[in-house]
Amino acid sequence: MEQLKLRGYQNVGVLKFRVKKGNDNSSDQVGTLNLRLTKKLELALVVANDARDPIGLIGNASKVAAEIPGASHLSAEGREKLFSREYPLAWGDEQVKPDAFLTGVALISEDLRTMTVGILGFDQSSESLFPVAKFQVKPDLEDLLDSGESFTVRGVFDDGSLSMTQEERKDKATEEALTTSLTVKQETEGQSSPSESKQHPLSSSDAPVALEIRYDNQVQDIEFRDGAAFVPEPEEGQSVMLIVRRKSSDKRLGLVLKVNGENTLGRENVADAQAQTWVLEPDRKEWGFQGYYDTTNNTMERFKVLSQADSKAKEIDYGEFVGSISVSVFPEQKVKPKASTQLLTDEGEDFQILTQGDFPDEKPSNLGALKQQLAQNVTRGLISNGETEDSSLGKAKFVKDSIPIMTATVKYYSPQDLPE
């Protein structure tokens, strides 16, 4: 914020981050991490913004950028086009011309244990992007989920976990997820041709559920190569069905099933631990999903396969398309973890806004109202939508643990890598 004010910027937007994992090229579609990091930076700017003398923050600048042909922060010509439109502020009804944009890149180490985040900026007079900030963090469980890693977590649900606080449980789960993620990656890493996997959650005997993907009712083989799981890309117009089958557990389970980073229940794009959950009762073994379900209106929007020819031609795709199907399974929480004795500081509350907060559906009138809404929501301590159909869903009381037993991602579309 200090740098933005020193440069005299009045209105600033945040564009989607690039992510580079290990030796891979950087990409604009690494799970949902690209957009989640963007949203966290937007939230951080809200938290740090002075309501008495605010810098105007554009709301979801990437959404507008995605509609500008040839817009890209990776070239001088593309950057010029980004300044050709007016953008809506994150509060009120005003449309503004941006003075500058922020973006960034996250470099995840090959062993998944460190993530270096660089924040960059540019304005209309910039010949290239200039550095704003750089820092290094240890990826947590949500970062691994968002980056499309697949893993199982079992040890954190033993009896000993009841004596730990939620923070201690999360740290233990993150360490176990790191270990199993690396095991899954190493099994098929460097193999460009399809191979079998015994470690990936979608083929492991230890996984509580199995996932079946069908196009036009034809089962698609899941292939394992180069440390990840893949299915063929569906053709435009094909029908898509996802089937989840219970395997090893006779207990109630919570399921978060996402397509392109959007929850099939309510079309949310929040972290899996915060998402609405399908309840898998033990007296049923199979569930089928054909679209996005809306419990408020009791409707279902069928999955629709869209042509991605346009996005392939872009230098960077600012849209939300991520080309993946992901499944996370949570146990039912019957006993609350040990309560933390530490009081949440103002800084801790700000941090929780970054990890749990989300911009409201209806924009508040000013920055102060937006800050208040975000604080109130924090607890102290390419397959798209098609036709809409009626779909009445039953509701069940289910308190899910915030830590998943397993999570797995299948890629069905691989966008072009970005220039370094």
* Beta strands, E only, 226-263: 228-230, 240-246, 253-259, 262-263
Q: What's the pLDDT at 141? A: 87
- Total residues found in the chain within this entry: 420
Q: What DSSP string runs through 354-405?
A: HHH----SSPPSSHHHHHHHHHHTSPP--EEEEEEEE---------B-SS-S
Task: List, for residues 180-199, the tens digit of each pLDDT value.
Answer: 999 988 888 877 777 788 88
The ranges of the chain with pLDDT < 50 are: 309-313, 379-391, 417-419
Distance CA 180, CA 26 (A): 23
CA 12, 16, 21, 24: dihedral to nearest 10 degrees? -120
* SS3 at position 420: coil
Give the residue range(s) of CATH 3.40.50.10610 domains in the chain. Answer: 2-139
Q: How far apart are CA 417 and CA 322, in angstroms?
A: 13
Please give the model's pTM, rounded to 2 decimal places. Answer: 0.82
pLDDT of residue 339: 61
Tell me what pLDDT residue 414 has. Answer: 59
DSSP single-letter state for residue 129: -
And the tokens for 347?
């800084």
Fold held by 2-139: Rossmann fold (3.40.50)
Please give the radius of gyration of the chain, using alpha carbons only, rounded to the nearest integer. 21
